[in-house]
Structure 1
């Protein structure tokens, strides 16, 4: 029995994104070539990208796989927000690597978010975040339009962190 808090499981992979949610699409070039692609894919699927961006990640596995429980938290002290999730799909393909997680009970939002690295024919390594979400907690509703702004900021931050991670590899 699923503990996910939304019915549109997998929509970040197959689309279209469902109505009734805020949508986020962010794409950034993070490297070039197979070596950068492999480094970026490993950083994404082994939680290192999130950790390097300042989030705490507690996962039931060291690598993303369907069904893995993940709790991501951010903030300081008592102001830390915990976000329980579950990996709903993964991609471990020749030129595409990544995963999506969906929200579980206790998450301040309701929805799904994917993190995918892709190697295109011209050799560019692209990082994409696709998400749909809506408030599920009183404090997310209270924050109103600030939540999508914070999500966009975090997606850009992840891209920047991943670019730096790849260049250091």
Structure 2
């Protein structure tokens, strides 16, 4: 699902069968009238089924690494992450 208006852009998705985790994730970028930009990441996640279940902690670690990269990218462009 995508949402876009003058001050907000958002993308949300759900995992497919066979993915290491089961859940949904949303990325929401907002710009206020003063030009400040915020990124909100929302996740509802649980371990996938079958062979993936014992590897779920590794998937959580990978998600943490990618989120830090998102925040670093925002900061490099001069935006303030919250």
* TM-score w.r.t. length of structure 1: 0.40
Residue number in structure 2 paired with 1:136: 48
Superposed counterparts of 1:69-88, under 5 Å: none
- Give the gaps of 5 or more residues in structure 2: none
Whose RCO is larger (CA < 8 A, sep 6+)? 1
Q: Post-superposition shift, 1:93? A: 1.0
Contact kept, 8 Å, 1:140 with 1:147, in 2: the verdict is: no
Q: Distance in 2 between matches of 1:94 and 1:146?
A: 38
Contact kept, 8 Å, 1:115 with 1:127, in 2: the verdict is: yes
Residue number in structure 1 paired with 2:12: 100
Q: CA RMSD in A?
A: 2.2
- Give the gaps of 5 or more residues in structure 1: 1-88
Contact kept, 8 Å, 2:21 with 2:59, in 1: the verdict is: no
Given candidates 57, 60, 64, the residue that maps to 1:145 is: 57
